[in-house]
A = this chain, B = another copy of it.
Amino acid sequence: MKMDPRLCWLPFMGPACEASDPFAMAQAELALGLASLEGVQARVSLLPGRGDGYEIKKEQDTYLVQGGEKGALYGVYHLLLSLHAGECPLTKWNEPAFPLRMLNHWDNMTGKVERGYAGDSFFYQDNRFDYDPARIRQYGRMLASVGINAISINNVNVHAPADRLVTDQLLPEVKKIADILRPFGVRLIIAVDYALPVTMGLKTADPLDPAVQAFWKKQCDEIYACVPDLLGFLVKADSEFRPGPYMYKRDHAQGANMLARALKPHRGMLIWRCFVYNCRQDWRDHSIDRPKAAYENYAWLDGQFDDNVILQVKNGPYDFQVREPVSPLFYAMEKTEKAIEFQLAQEYTGHQIDLYYMAPMWKEVMDDLRVMPKHICAVTNLGRDENWTGHHLAQANLYAYGRLCWLGREMDGKGEARRWIALTFGQHFPEADRLLSMLMDSREIYEKYNAPLGLCWMVTPHTHYGPDPEGYEFALWGTFHRANHQAVGIDRTEKGTGYACQYPEDMAKMYQDTDTCPEKLLLFFHRLRYDFKMKDGRTLLQRIYDDHFEGAQGAERLLSDWEKMQPHLPEAIYAHSLDRFRRQVKNAHDWRDIINTYFYRFTGIADEKGRKIYD
């Protein structure tokens, strides 16, 4: 498992240190970091009981980092990164916006990563643990340097033997990973299989069955004896063929609380995913609307979850599509702790082949949220690839995600991109402005050549790369757009499926009126005729055509911008990303031509500007 420690945003650091705890790590990493900074003096001191926070002052010529148990370490990285980025490192007392700042690995023990686009897992291979401790330390440093403090280490779709991570069969191996990451302030979460009691010999996994409750209590006692600071469990239940409490006619509060009570004596948390919907839906049945599912399954349970339960809710009501509204569940369930879940893995956003910087999207979500969820989580975009993320520039998403975790809605996506560029390519990188524009434009470019205006799901089934306008149209996943010769989209207003009514009244009103609904979400909420007039006077159809031509041009521009940067880039980095930009251009052309042709075949209406739309 070859890797070059310089291939991240801390290229000046070399291999990560070993230390016994986060403060010792802070001291070691500070010493190491200072070696790369001529003439800088600094020291770090611990403020017991102050947790994740820190401040940085300067006394005479010496920077003084003061912080809590983990805060001291975060402060040290803040100092080093600021200095390397050419920014002033001084800061008043600085605390993170979210107490739990999590990443979810979708790593299978086979080594394959579900929806992974950066090579195999760096934890597993061939159904066993198989890793380089130095690389795990390097990873711990990356996480700590942006303040991420918890990771789940296995796929939420728990396939054997990963179901045994919580048993004495594999717990000793989990402990080794926990021990490596603990000094970086990173705690582990294990994704568990709800049916484990049955696999282990019980007759049922019914959460109300005393034997099941006893099973999990005993299991938790064993787990915490081995990994005393395990954060807790992550559960995907009753979702996409995973087992869960519905199998026993129990609701999800009953299902989650049972596990939460087993964790409680150990101060463990139970993180429960709300990605529950009917995945055997008949397209002929217009009475079901998948985006309504999370709200319908959970909203009525508010107040019934134990206080160590966290409901983990995807940012949108569907599934990490390029453009979705914020999930209505975030405006409900006031009495329930929630975590918002993003996806760094570019499942629907270009497979880490196409450039897609996510911070602008997160910023929009944060702006739309009225009450911030307490915690935050993201599916990683990481793998064994030497550069961690497949596309080298996709590292910016991991970096910016950490900053989002720390700063919440104060995060400035552009500023963080600029800082990531300075750290990765050097403070005086002459092409920084061009690269910054590429990152900042990338989401809009991708969105324009993808499915139009929040329509979603025109992607190739299974792989989720490239266009297939009707690929999901007659499938069982509840992902329809019902395009015909006159109109396209699902009416989700009160006259349609009523999805919009799951929002607070003023938002529902805003979404339901085509005049006030944000244009980029028009086809998420409305079924519209192709001659619908957009605000600027264009027809919906022409807007679709224009977006797709512009999106493809944008992809071509990204490629030519990258080509211009060649003289200023290491050859290997240049060539590696060049290949990706070329593939992106091909992908963008496919999207442009197939989506435009798809609508042209329905309407027979040519592009107003006479551009080529194929028959």
**Interface of chain A, helix or strand or loop or mixed?**
loop
A615 to B485, CA, bound (A): 12
A193 to B140, CA, bound (A): 49
The stretch that binds B, out of A78-86, A296-304, A598-606, is A598-606
Q: How far is the CB of A177 from chain B (nearest CB, A)?
A: 34
Tell me whether A483 is interfacial, beta carbon within 8 Å.
yes
Residues in chain B near residue A469, CB distance under 8 A:
470
B286 touches A482 (CB 8 A): no
Tell me whether A593 is interfacial, beta carbon within 8 Å.
yes
Choose among A469, A474, A594, A597 the residue with the greatest number of B CB atoms under 10 Å from its CB: A474
A601 and B474 contact, Cβ closer than 8 Å, known pairs A284-B593, A614-B284: no
A601 touches B284 (CB 8 A): no
Tell me whether A467 is interfacial, beta carbon within 8 Å.
yes
What sequence of 0s and 1s flags, for each residue 585-601 of chain A, a beta carbon within 8 Å of any chain B beta carbon? 00000100110010011
Tell me whether A484 is interfacial, beta carbon within 8 Å.
yes
Nearest residue (CB) in B for A469 is B470
B468 touches A474 (CB 8 A): yes
B467 touches A604 (CB 8 A): no
Residues in chain B near residue A483, CB distance under 8 A:
601
Q: Which of B283, B467, B485, B590 contacts A485 (CB 8 A)?
A: B485
Residues in chain B near residue A602, CB distance under 8 A:
484-485, 601-602
Tell me whether A62 is interfacial, beta carbon within 8 Å.
no
Q: How far is the CB of A614 from chain B (nearest CB, A)?
A: 5
Residues in chain B near residue A590, CB distance under 8 A:
474
A601 to B527, CA, bound (A): 14
A604 touches B484 (CB 8 A): yes
Q: How far is the CB of A465 from chain B (nearest CB, A)?
A: 13
Nearest residue (CB) in B for A484 is B601
A485 touches B604 (CB 8 A): yes
Residues in chain B near residue A284, CB distance under 8 A:
593, 614
A104 to B445, CA, bound (A): 50
A20 to B474, CA, bound (A): 57
Tell me whether A498 is interfacial, beta carbon within 8 Å.
no
What would be 6 A-B contacts, judged by CB atoms less than 8 Å apart?
A: A284-B614, A471-B471, A474-B590, A485-B485, A485-B601, A601-B602
Chain A interface residues toward B at CB < 8 A = 283-284, 286, 467-471, 474, 482-486, 590, 593-594, 597, 600-604, 614-615
**Given A470-B471, A484-B604: 10 more A-B contacts, CB < 8 Å:** A283-B614, A468-B471, A468-B474, A474-B594, A482-B615, A484-B600, A484-B615, A485-B602, A485-B604, A486-B604
